[in-house]
Amino acid sequence: MSVRHALLALLTEGPKYGLQLRQEFEARTGEVWPLNVGQVYTTLQRLERDGLVESDGEGEGPQKGYHITAAGRHELNDWLRTPSDTAPPRDELVIKVLVAVRLPGVDVHDVVQVHRRRLVEAMQRYTRLKADAADDDLTLGLVADAELFRLEGTVRWLDAADARLRRLAGAAPATTEATTEVTTEPAVQGHDVEVG
């Protein structure tokens, strides 16, 4: 998620103060992605350095006002059309499952289930957030759905991994074969597994 471009987008609506930018960012992401103040000011300083925003030169910290420049608008338009995340991230969960397959005395299915449960628990929390929100809260619906589909993708990968491991265990119990098979799978859409 680009805080940088989110701040530029907010500034297209007119000049704003740092504190105001932080509050509006959180409100518009359904408060699912909180920002700390430091992140906002560091990002604004970098944007100013790169000529994408200008400060009004008065006030300090939260009182300092910013407006977007022509170069900032250009940058924002380019970013909207740039494909996201072309390189697959190294997924810690995939690595954990691969390690569990090889490690003696570890039941890989137990490891898979621990993660499956934690992911589903995280999904329950996002779903509850959505369920409790007003019907017309579009932002929260969109943000919660994005997280839910991401988490669901990982659960489905775990289901597939589980099924693949069981099928192989049924056919040929050699651990090394199972490992080889799994490592040839393409990397999943990754994200941090520490969701709990």
Residues at the interface with other proteins (CB under 8 A): 1, 31-32, 34, 36, 113, 116-117, 119-121, 123-129, 131-132, 148-149, 151-152, 155-156, 159, 162-163, 191-192, 194
**Could you tell me the smallest distance in angstroms from the CB atom of residue 50 to other proteins?**
21
Pick from 158, 69, 160, 57: nearest CA to 110? 158
- Please tell me whether residue 53 adopts helix, strand or coil conformation: strand
Alpha-carbon distance values, 83 to 21, 71, 80 (Å): 25, 20, 8
Nearer to other proteins, 73 or 109 (CB): 109
Nearer to other proteins, 98 or 155 (CB): 155
**Could you tell me the smallest distance in angstroms from the CB atom of residue 71 to other proteins?**
26
**Could you tell me the smallest distance in angstroms from the CB atom of residue 189 to other proteins?**
12
Nearer to other proteins, 73 or 164 (CB): 164
Nearer to other proteins, 19 or 155 (CB): 155
- Dist CA 171 CA 52 (whole Å): 60
Rounded to 5 degrees, φ, ψ at 16 are -145, 160
Per-residue tokens: 37: 């103040």
- Dist CA 191 CA 93 (whole Å): 8
Q: What is the DSSP string of 1-68?
A: --HHHHHHHHHTTS-EEHHHHHHHHHHHTTTSS---HHHHHHHHHHHHHTTSEEE-S-S-GGG-EEEE
Nearer to other proteins, 64 or 191 (CB): 191
**Could you tell me the smallest distance in angstroms from the CB atom of residue 59 to other proteins?**
26
**Could you tell me the smallest distance in angstroms from the CB atom of residue 117 to other proteins?**
5
Nearer to other proteins, 78 or 152 (CB): 152
**Could you tell me the smallest distance in angstroms from the CB atom of residue 154 to other proteins?**
9
